[in-house]
Structure formats: C-alpha cells, structure tokens
Amino acid sequence: MDSMTKRTAGRDGSASPEPEGPGADVELDLRGVICPYNFVKTKLKLETMEPGQTLAVILDDGDPIHNVPRSVSDDGHTVLRQERWAEAFRVLIRRRTDF
C-alpha cells in the first residue's frame, strides 16, 4: 500500500484500498444515500461546522455528484475540488464565512 492509499471497510466488511485526498476538517461518506437526502445531510453537517472549515463528502456517480456540489454552491459555500475517489467521487467544500 503506498502513502496515498488508506484502507476502509467496504459495504461487505472487507477492507478495500481507497485513495487518500487532501485534508478536510470533517469527512462525510454518503455513498448509497439518494437525492435529496445526500444534500440535506451535507447541508446539516455544514451548519454544525465553523465558518471556513472544510468538509469532504463522498458521493456516488450520477445525480448525487451533479446535484450536491451545485446545491451547496447555491447556498454560498465554496466547492474547492471534485475528484474521482475509488468507486465514487470526493467533493471538498469550504463552509461559507458570513454566518
């Protein structure tokens, strides 16, 4: 295993390597969560964070990766990065600072 890989438990309990992304203050794994619940959970998590902190959200392909980044941007947060992450996508979001 190289320095950019970490092991996480898969849905079946087996360990699977996943690339490690840039640091975030909080990470939220929403694989398997359908729209609009993945956006609602992202929004609620952002509301608990301090202004300027970063949240990494793991999302499935399809509607989640299209809708969640757009919706958090519409709410005034900054999408810093979207990247392929194993079988999903990792979105790095900075919480808006004007709260």
Token representation of residue 88: 């999903």
Backbone angles phi, psi at 20, to 5 degrees: -95, 125
**For helices 37-48 and 63-74, angle between their N-to-C axes, nearest 10 degrees:** 40
Active site residue 35: yes
Q: What is the pLDDT of residues 3-15, one digit of tens each?
A: 333 333 343 433 3
Catalytic residue selected from 20, 27, 35, 86: 35
Residues 15, 44: contact at Cβ < 8 Å? Answer: no
Q: What is the pLDDT of residues 5-64, one digit of tens each?
A: 333 334 343 333 344 556 899 999 999 999 999 999 999 999 999 999 999 999 999 999
d(CA 37, CA 87): 20
Domains of the chain: 23-94 (3.30.110.40)
Q: For residue 75, is pLDDT > 70?
A: yes
Q: Is the pTM of this model over 0.95?
A: no
